[in-house]
Amino acid sequence: MQHYPVNLVLAGRRTVIIGGGAVAARKCESLLATGSRITVVAPCLDPALEKLCRENRIVHESRPYRYGDLDGAFLVFAATGDAAVNRAVAEEAAARGILADIVDAPECSTFVTPATVRRGDLLITISTGGKSPALSARLRAELAERYGGEYGTALELLGAIREKLLTEKGNTAYNKELFNALLDRDLPLLLKSWSPSVLDHILTDIFGPGFTLEELGIRERETS
């Protein structure tokens, strides 16, 4: 089966996770950054989920799943470890037209969650179509080592420059040449070494006055 890759906007939308174990905790962790309103339905919780509940970052329904728990949900994950319960969740999701990831049962799912590497707003995803989670994990580890935190900082810097250029100059064709000139200097490596004076010299040389790190609001980040 071929999958179509998309990035969902979940801010303010309700996500329901059925199950409270380690798998559910991992799903929840990746969802928190999206701004989704997360409800976990499970009789008991993994310690990581318990902590999130105490911090009021998720809502916990302390009981087994029952029909109707998906009311108002945009997205659902079933991770109970009980095939019959997961299948019931899949059936309710299908009846309500809700996107559902049924863990360990991709044939019952309407989407699958890829392995990811996130560096700030940079998101790299890996999918093997459910055929080899081991290969996904291996590729994720390789990409995580290859693309460190400096790539997130690079994207933040590029975004700040783009916004400033569009506001002040607006010449998008010319701006593309400027961005390519900066990227040709191996921007991530420059940020990893973090020499503000060198970076400021390069930025002002390419973009002109007003484009120093301080003026763009960029500060040193963790790059490992």
Task: Name the residue ranges covered by the structural domains of the chain.
Answer: 1-113, 149-216
Residue 223's pLDDT is 53
Domain 1-113: state its class.
alpha beta
User: Degrees (nearest 5) of the Cα angle 206, 209, 215?
Assistant: 105
Tens digits of residue pLDDT in 20-63? 999 999 999 999 999 999 999 999 999 999 999 999 999 999 99
Please provide the average confidence, as pLDDT, over all residues in the chain.
92
Residue 126's pLDDT is 94
Q: Distance between CA atoms of 65 and 32, rounded to whole angstroms?
A: 22
222 three-class SS: coil
Listed residue (169, 190, 210, 122) closest to 177, CA to CA: 169
What is the reported pTM? 0.83
Residue 168's pLDDT is 79
Confidence category of residue 222, pLDDT binned at 50, 70, 90 = low
Q: Tell me: pLDDT of 170 over 80.
A: no
186 three-class SS: coil
Q: Tell me: pLDDT of 128 over 90.
A: no
Tens digits of residue pLDDT in 173-214? 778 899 999 999 999 999 999 999 999 999 999 999 999 999
How far separated are the first and last CA of the chain, in Å rounded? 36
Q: Report phi then psi at 84, rounded to 5.
A: -65, -40
Residue 220's pLDDT is 80
Confidence category of residue 100, pLDDT binned at 50, 70, 90 = very high
Confidence category of residue 150, pLDDT binned at 50, 70, 90 = very high
Q: Tell me: pLDDT of 219 over 90.
A: no
